[in-house]
């Protein structure tokens, strides 16, 4: 058997499912698979890329492992470029583990993170940027991040290439000045070169801010339900989720800790948060809860301020509304309109320019209109995130920051041409990490360490 053992891993997520996919790749993948398959002739004669039914056996234990289907891919026409098999088995954790163990017992090895993609890279089936793009597509939890990964997958990295070429051009001009400088031309070239570098700095700054916004969306758009105690916040939380997640009680101060759930609203990933109602309290636990609420309000994308129609608006609540929602996206929700009409509370939201809604969660009154307003806000938040064009993933972002720092240093030293040229060279060298990483073991390890197992 070949020195390099075939690799095996589950490619579907861990946990129980109806079906699971196990992949095995390597020159001897077929030999290993044949050790655990009952229908050996069927597998040997199976045409590549066609699915067939097999019984898998642990011959040593004389035990049937599972009835599976499997697809055979013959080198080089596979994802990795090697002989490969995709086994679709039943999705029980024990079955998956036993099949993988049986393959390992017969000559395979457990694949490390990103091992399949790494082999595809080594075999020239894929380039590094595409490999990163695939990982990005798998990992993205929001639309802008997925679109960035898709753009990278499609090879649309012209904006980054243009930054790279421009830095080189300016640096070459500075080098020429150092060598053959003529006084008049020097100052012209130097000034236009500096303008170009300043433009790149400003583009990179903008891109870094855009990436921060995307990173801030990881885990979903954060919607926090807050307001005074006993207003119906937890009731609203449960209503939006569609099940009883948080405790609801007539006693004020019921919710203390932060309770959150992830959900999809119109295909947008949302993190919905319920927390302690805001009030003056002597109870230390409740006070801690209120501190947590305040910090969650600060990082939320959307605030749902819930207040009860039958409670008079206190000076305290007025101040809280002003302090917590000012400059943020928020909806004022006047609940319990089955008890009172809530008209007296409309003014404060109007004053602050906050969209408001009068509802009764108890009677289900106006809840649909509230949800429509919430969906509009979600659409706005999601669509207001501009797509980066240069820094398409986290790694590019990190390199973009390094490039920008060196360009800033070059700008500072612009009149000392040799030093400026040195920093431009340094800025340019960071592109080596992006485009010349194929043969750099250390960079490859760093990149693939972030991949999932089975990819
Ligand atoms: N009449 C009426 N009662 C409601 C309505 N919505 C909620 N309630 C009741 O109000 C009480 C408080 O509801 P919760 O959802 O626990 O309120 P909360 O804002 O989470 O309260 P804290 O966690 O204590 O801050 C419960 O008895 C609910 O049944 C409503 O629309 N009308
Ligand atoms: Mg509550």
Residues with CB under 6 A from ligand 1: 229-235, 248-250, 252-255, 277, 335-336, 338-339, 360-362
Q: Nearest 5 degrees, angle CA 275-CA 280-CA 286?
A: 45
Mean pLDDT lowest for which of 105-114, 199-208, 236-245, 429-438?
A: 429-438
Give CA–CA dist 200/171, Å, rounded: 13
The phi and psi torsions of 245 (rounded to 5 degrees) equal -100, -40
Per-residue pLDDT at 384: 84
131, 121 in Cβ contact below 8 A? Answer: yes
| Tens-place pLDDT, residues 68-77 | 999 999 999 9
> pLDDT at residue 143 above 90?
no
- Which long-range contacts (C-beta less than 8 Å, at least 24 apart) are formed by 387-391? 387/144, 387/147, 387/148, 387/151, 387/210, 388/148, 388/207, 388/210, 388/211, 388/214, 389/159, 389/207, 390/159, 390/160, 390/163, 390/203, 390/204, 390/207, 391/160, 391/204, 391/207, 391/208, 391/210, 391/211
Ion ligand 2: residues, Cβ under 5 Å: 233-234, 254-255
Q: Are strands 355-358 and 330-335 parallel, antiparallel or unpaired?
A: parallel
| Tens-place pLDDT, residues 208-238 | 999 998 888 888 999 999 999 999 999 999 9
Q: How confident is the model at residue 447 (pLDDT cuts 50, 70, 90)?
A: confident
For atom 16 of ligand 1, which residue has the closest CA?
A: 248
> pLDDT at residue 260 above 90?
yes
Q: What is the model's pTM?
A: 0.74
Q: What is the DSSP letter of 372?
A: H
| Tens-place pLDDT, residues 376-433 | 999 999 888 888 999 999 889 999 999 999 999 999 999 899 999 999 999 999 998 8
> pLDDT at residue 183 above 70?
no
For the segment 19-41, the average pLDDT, to the nearest whole number, is 97
> Which of the ligands is closest to the CA of residue 251?
1
> pLDDT at residue 313 above 70?
yes
Q: How confident is the model at residue 326 (pLDDT cuts 50, 70, 90)?
A: confident
Q: Nearest 5 degrees, angle CA 40-CA 43-CA 47?
A: 155
Pick the closest to residue 168 from 431, 432, 433, 428 (CA basis): 428
Highest mean pLDDT among 136-140, 203-207, 450-454: 203-207
Percent of the chain with pLDDT over 90: 66
Counting ligand 1 atoms within 8 A of each CB, the residue from 227, 235, 275, 358 with the most, and so the one to mutate, is 235
Return the C-alpha torsion angle 178, 181, 184, 187, nearest 10: -10
Mean pLDDT lowest for which of 48-57, 188-197, 259-268, 331-340?
A: 188-197
Per-residue pLDDT at 184: 58
Per-residue pLDDT at 141: 76
């Amino acid at each position: 058997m070949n020195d390099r053992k075939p690799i095996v891993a589950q490619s579907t997520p861990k946990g129980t499912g109806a079906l699971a996919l196990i992949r095995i790749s390597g020159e001897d993948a077929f030999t290993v698979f044949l050790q655990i398959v009952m229908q050996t002739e069927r597998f040997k004669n199976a045409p590549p890329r066609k699915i067939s039914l097999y019984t898998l056996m642990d011959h040593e234990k004389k035990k049937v492992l599972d009835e599976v289907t499997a697809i055979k891919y013959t080198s080089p026409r596979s994802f990795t470029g090697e002989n490969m098999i995709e086994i679709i088995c039943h999705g029980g954790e024990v079955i998956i583990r036993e099949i993988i163990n049986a393959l390992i017992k017969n000559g395979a090895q457990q694949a490390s993170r990103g091992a399949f993609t790494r082999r595809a890279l080594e075999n020239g089936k894929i380039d590094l940027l595409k490999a990163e793009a695939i990982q990005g597509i798998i990992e993205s939890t929001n639309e802008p991040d997925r679109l960035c990964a898709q753009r990278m997958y499609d090879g649309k990295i012209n904006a980054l290439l243009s930054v790279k070429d421009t830095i080189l051009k300016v640096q070459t001009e500075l080098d020429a000045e150092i060598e053959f400088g003529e006084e008049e031309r020097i100052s012209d070239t130097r000034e236009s070169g500096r303008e170009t570098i300043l433009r790149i700095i400003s583009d990179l700054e903008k891109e870094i801010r855009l990436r921060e916004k995307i990173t801030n969306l990881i885990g979903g758009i954060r919607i926090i339900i807050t307001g005074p105690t006993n207003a119906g916040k937890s009731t609203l939380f449960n209503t939006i989720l569609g099940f009883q997640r948080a405790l609801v009680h007539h006693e004020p101060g019921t919710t203390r800790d932060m309770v959150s759930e992830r959900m999809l609203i119109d295909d947008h990933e949302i993190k919905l948060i319920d927390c302690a109602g805001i009030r003056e309290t002597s109870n230390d636990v409740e006070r801690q809860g209120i501190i947590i609420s305040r910090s969650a309000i600060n990082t939320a994308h959307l605030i749902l301020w819930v207040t009860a129609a039958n409670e008079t608006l206190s000076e305290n609540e007025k101040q809280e509304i002003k302090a917590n929602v000012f400059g943020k996206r928020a909806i004022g929700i006047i609940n319990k309109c089955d008890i009172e009409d809530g008209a007296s509370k409309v003014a404060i939201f109007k004053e602050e320019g906050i969209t408001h809604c009068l509802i009764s969660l108890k009677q289900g009154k106006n809840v649909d209109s509230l949800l429509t307003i919430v969906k509009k806000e979600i659409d706005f938040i999601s669509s207001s995130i501009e797509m980066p064009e240069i820094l398409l993933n986290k790694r590019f972002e990190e390199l973009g920051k390094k490039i920008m720092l060196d360009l800033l240093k070059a700008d500072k030293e612009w009149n000392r041409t040799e030093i400026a040229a040195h920093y431009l060279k340094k800025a340019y060298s960071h592109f080596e990490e992006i485009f010349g990483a194929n043969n750099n073991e250390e960079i490859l390890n760093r990149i693939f360490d972030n991949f999932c197992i089975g990819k």
